[in-house]
């Protein structure tokens, strides 16, 4: 029944009667909830909605000087790695020495392994070093691919080609490539976070990798003693908790600013009692210290010390009381957002943008400062979670950032999500009716009968690359059943079309068809989704044309496009008044983006990647552009339309990669001298010089220059870049030589910069990981 008819005068009596009845019912439910709360001793807690103060963010790579109390553990592991195999190298099944590190979650096993892996002595001892994170799924094929990719990681441009090609090989071809890559090499392989207790699977993998040279070693981290015994060829290294002295130091580091603890002797004493209950687990110590950072209320500290949750027994799922307590102390808005990390698998690398899209589509982002953008609100949430030590491996490039959720924290997210969020895999036999958010991680789990008929489902997500829908009938059933869907992720599916009925999902906020390689056309009815905020057609390489009526998507904020279309419907794009992010990737027939005069007045982020025929950019119609990615556009002349500075530029972030027609930075960038904060330049083999005006970038904080071999000098005014905090130069041999500490001729220009990385392997790998993330799943 239509709303206007329902509220008409002819139905007023019916309406009043029904509403009165419903209000009574709701009141009875509230009374019952209040009674239950009193019955079980629940208390009302007033939530502080202010974002807490946080320390300055720093990169999360392992820096030996920042790790407390693991020096002796590192030396003992390195000593084990330097020892000859106890059974003699090359002896039968014992041909590779396997050293397990075992301990409970959050103890620092991975951190210790990283300390060892990055120790310079390992570079001298082993010809090849590989790091592979396994987590829950011990899939031989995927592990082989990861090992091959890791073995190639020292050559980023080759590694990407390996990774893209490996997906197309069968298991026989993969094992042949693996054995060829390892054969005769003395290698160190780290297998991080092993949960597999199937000896047959481990034996199968071990048989494939025992082809290295004498002295090869495998370092394994696991929470399980039984798995360590199964895999190890030497006794396990049982990692103990930190000493109380080291725990106190770690706690003070995270609870106070440097030296501040001297002012609060009473809190230091309470802190020692809190630390005593952490039982030496660094993650627990760090998390609780972070939760009390800049909070000098002794009652708050005593509450943490005395809270009964400390006494809960550690169960099999290993959810540390310290983490649960920190979760309970979070503001409610943050708790709601945090629970949705359980939709992603363990060890999943999140881009900030995909998490923002998820939270925004579910209505979890609330701006408290007028019209603050949801991206800024989400970044505050993520920074707060990071400051509370719930996130790790945080790489911050300004508008682009990347992180992971610690395994133990992921366990906590699953625990607090309870029955509303469910990860669906091959062992799932039943989806309860009350489940509202689904994450499908295996194709084998896509059964008609499995999915509930309840209309309560709000999210269907496919977070794993290669896992998607191939059944139109199942999609039809979802559209029919789940009419209140907010998020529908059909990425990596093999659908040939979408049903016209997609328009029935009138509440849909996010729709992804990413990497659907069979879709040639989309139904025009898709443009009736007027609540849609994000639409991804990225990787739809057979899509011939965009749907007609695109301009009707009045709520659309983010649009990712791959199409064979050569001319864009400019009027349609101009009608998208809320469009914030626009991406063109693998659009091989596009020579020009927009040639008309209509401005895209709301666009702030533009991504152009692998558009091989694109020749020029329409800067004049992008008055609010803040973020620009230009990646592998061989024909693009960035100086074509803009030979002079554009003084109205508001650009804050610029990434230029592989632009062979450019020999220097285009001069229009000078127009962003008062706003540009991040400049990333990579794989630019024709780049010969950096212009002198670069030193006028008064707000530039991050400058990364990678794989620009012809670049051999810096502007003479580099010392004037007083805001520059992070300078990385790698793959530029002559320039790196001139920037060597103390002795390089440019050292005096750059010595003041806080984070310097000149020709370091670690930085090369870090940037390669970021570039790989950008190429494979660039969502801003």
pLDDT of residue 398: 77
Give the whole-angstrom CA distance, residue 430 versus residue 427: 9
Per-residue pLDDT of 33-74, as tens digits, reads 665 555 444 444 444 443 333 333 222 246 676 788 999 999
Q: Dig out the tokens for 16 from the structure.
A: 């009043």
Phi, psi of 435 (to 5 degrees): -65, 130
Q: Are 563 and 546 in contact (CB under 8 A)?
A: yes
Mapping DSSP to helix (H, G, I), strand (E, B) and coil, where does residue 234 land?
coil
Per DSSP, the residues of 642-655 read -SS--TT----EEE
User: Inter-axis angle of helices 171-182 and 140-151, to 10 degrees?
Assistant: 40
* CB crowding 319-346: b at 16 or more within 10 Å, else e: bbbbbbbbbebbbebbebbbbbbbbbbb
3-state secondary structure 517-577: CCCCCCCHHHHHCCCCCEEECCCCCCCCCCCCCHHHCCCCCEEEECCCCCCCCHHHHHCCC
User: Count of alpha carbons within 13 Å of 484, Cβ hemisphere only?
Assistant: 9
pLDDT of residue 5: 40
pTM over 0.85: no
Q: Which helix (H) or strand (E) holds 229?
A: helix 225-231
Q: Are 187 and 126 in contact (CB under 8 A)?
A: yes
Token pair 């020029």 is found at 616
Q: Please state the separation of Cα 319 from the chain's center in Å.
A: 22
Give the whole-angstrom CA distance, residue 151 versus residue 550: 45
Q: Which helix (H) or strand (E) holds 488?
A: strand 487-489
Give the whole-angstrom CA distance, residue 366 versus residue 713: 47
Q: Are 757 and 735 in contact (CB under 8 A)?
A: no
Token pair 């011990």 is found at 138
Sequence-distant (≥ 6) Cβ neighbours of residue 242 within 8 angstroms: 68, 69, 70, 108, 250, 280, 281, 282, 285
Per-residue pLDDT of 689-744, as tens digits, reads 899 999 999 999 999 999 999 999 999 888 889 899 999 999 999 999 999 888 88
Give the whole-angstrom CA distance, residue 702 versus residue 717: 16
Give the whole-angstrom CA distance, residue 413 versus residue 342: 5
- CA geometry: angle at 460 spanning 455 and 465, to 5°? 165
Per-residue pLDDT of 100-134, as tens digits, reads 998 877 788 889 999 999 989 999 999 999 999 88
Q: Dig out the tokens for 302 from the structure.
A: 């005593």
pLDDT of residue 18: 59
Which residues in the chain land under pLDDT 70? 1-63, 65, 85-95, 136, 153-168, 307-323, 325-326, 367-371, 389, 408, 445, 448, 597, 640-648, 760-780
Per-residue pLDDT of 502-545, as tens digits, reads 999 999 999 999 999 999 999 999 999 999 999 999 999 999 99
Q: Dig out the tokens for 548 from the structure.
A: 């007609």
Mean pLDDT of the chain, nearest integer:
82
pLDDT of residue 19: 61
pLDDT of residue 355: 93
Cα distances (angstroms) measured from residue 752 to each of 378, 723, 741: 32, 10, 11
User: Count of alpha carbons within 13 Å of 579, Cβ hemisphere only?
Assistant: 24
Q: Which helix (H) or strand (E) holds 80?
A: helix 71-82
């Amino acid at each position: 029944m239509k709303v206007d008819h329902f509220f008409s005068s002819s139905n007023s009596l019916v309406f009043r009667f029904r509403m009165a009845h419903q209000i009574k019912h709701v009141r009875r439910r509230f009374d019952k909830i209040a009674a239950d709360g009193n019955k079980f001793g629940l208390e009302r807690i007033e939530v502080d909605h202010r974002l807490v103060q946080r320390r300055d963010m720093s990169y999360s790579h392992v820096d030996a000087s920042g790790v407390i109390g693991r020096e002796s553990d590192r030396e003992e592991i390195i000593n084990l790695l330097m020892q000859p195999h106890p059974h003699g190298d090359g002896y039968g099944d014992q041909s590779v020495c396997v050293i397990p590190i075992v301990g409970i979650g959050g103890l620092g096993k991975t951190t210790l392994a990283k300390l060892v892996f990055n120790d310079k002595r390992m570079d001298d001892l082993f010809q090849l070093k590989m790091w592979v994170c396994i987590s829950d799924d011990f899939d031989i094929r995927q592990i082989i691919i990861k090992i091959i990719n890791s073995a190639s990681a020292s050559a980023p441009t080759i590694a990407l080609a390996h990774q893209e090609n490996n997906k197309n090989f069968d298991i026989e071809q993969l094992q042949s490539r693996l054995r060829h890559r390892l054969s005769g090499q003395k290698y160190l392989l780290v297998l991080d976070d092993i949960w597999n207790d199937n000896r047959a699977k481990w034996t199968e993998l071990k048989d494939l990798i025992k082809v290295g040279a004498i002295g090869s070693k495998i370092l394994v981290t696991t929470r399980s003693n039984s798995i360590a015994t199964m895999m190890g060829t030497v006794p396990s290294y049982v990692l103990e908790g930190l000493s109380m002295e080291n725990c106190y130091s770690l706690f003070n580091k995270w609870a106070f600013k440097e030296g501040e603890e001297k002012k609060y002797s009473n809190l230091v004493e309470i802190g020692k009692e809190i630390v005593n209950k952490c039982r030496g687990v660094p993650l627990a110590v760090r998390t609780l210290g972070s939760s009390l950072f800049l909070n000098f209320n002794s009652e708050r500290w005593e509450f943490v010390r005395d809270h009964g949750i400390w006494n809960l027994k550690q169960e099999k799922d290993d959810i540390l009381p310290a983490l649960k307590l920190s979760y309970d102390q979070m503001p409610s808005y943050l708790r709601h957002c945090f629970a949705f990390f359980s939709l992603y698998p363990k060890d999943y690398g999140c881009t900030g943008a995909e998490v923002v899209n998820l939270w925004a589509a579910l209505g979890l982002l609330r701006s408290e400062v007028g019209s603050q953008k949801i991206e800024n609100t989400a970044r505050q949430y993520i920074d707060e979670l990071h400051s509370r030590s719930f996130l790790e491996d945080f790489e911050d490039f300004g508008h682009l950032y990347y992180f992971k959720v610690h395994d133990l924290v992921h366990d906590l997210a699953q625990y607090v999500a309870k029955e509303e969020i469910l990860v669906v895999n091959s062992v799932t036999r039943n989806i309860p009716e009350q489940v509202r958010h689904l994450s499908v991680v295996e194709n084998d789990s896509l059964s008609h009968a499995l999915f509930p008929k309840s209309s309560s489902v709000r999210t269907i997500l496919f977070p794993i690359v290669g896992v998607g829908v191939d059944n139109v009938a199942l999609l039809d059933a979802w559209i029919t059943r789940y009419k209140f869907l907010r998020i529908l992720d059909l990425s990596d599916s093999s659908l040939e079309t979408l049903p016209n009925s997609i328009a029935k999902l009138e509440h849909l906020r996010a729709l992804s068809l990413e990497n659907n390689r069979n879709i040639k056309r989309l139904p025009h009815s898709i443009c009736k989704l007027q609540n849609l905020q994000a639409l991804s057609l990225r990787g739809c390489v057979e899509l011939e044309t965009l749907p007609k009526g695109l301009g009707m998507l009045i709520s659309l904020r983010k649009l990712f496009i791959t199409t064979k279309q050569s001319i864009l419907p400019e009027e349609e794009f101009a009608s998208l008044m809320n469009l914030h992010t626009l991406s063109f990737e693998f659009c091989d027939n596009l020579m020009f983006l927009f040639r008309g005069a209509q401005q895209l007045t709301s666009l702030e982020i533009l991504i152009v990647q692998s558009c091989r025929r694109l020749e020029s950019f329409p800067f004049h119609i992008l008055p609010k552009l803040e973020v620009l990615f230009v990646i592998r556009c061989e024909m693009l002349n960035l100086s074509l339309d803009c030979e002079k500075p554009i003084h109205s530029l508001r650009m804050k972030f610029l990434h230029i990669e592989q632009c062979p027609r450019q020999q220097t930075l285009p001069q229009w960038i000078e127009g962003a001298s008062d706003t540009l904060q991040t400049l990333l330049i990579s794989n630019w083999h024709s780049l010969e010089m950096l212009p002198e005006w670069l030193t006028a970038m008064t707000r530039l904080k991050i400058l990364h220059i990678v794989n620009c071999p012809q670049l051999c000098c810096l502007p003479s005014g580099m010392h004037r870049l007083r805001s520059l905090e992070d300078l990385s130069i790698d793959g530029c041999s002559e320039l790196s030589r001139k920037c060597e500490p103390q002795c390089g001729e440019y050292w005096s220009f750059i010595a003041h910069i806080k984070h310097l990385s000149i020709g370091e392997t670690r930085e090369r790998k870090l940037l390669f990981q970021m570039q790989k993330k950008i190429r494979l799943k660039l969502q801003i």
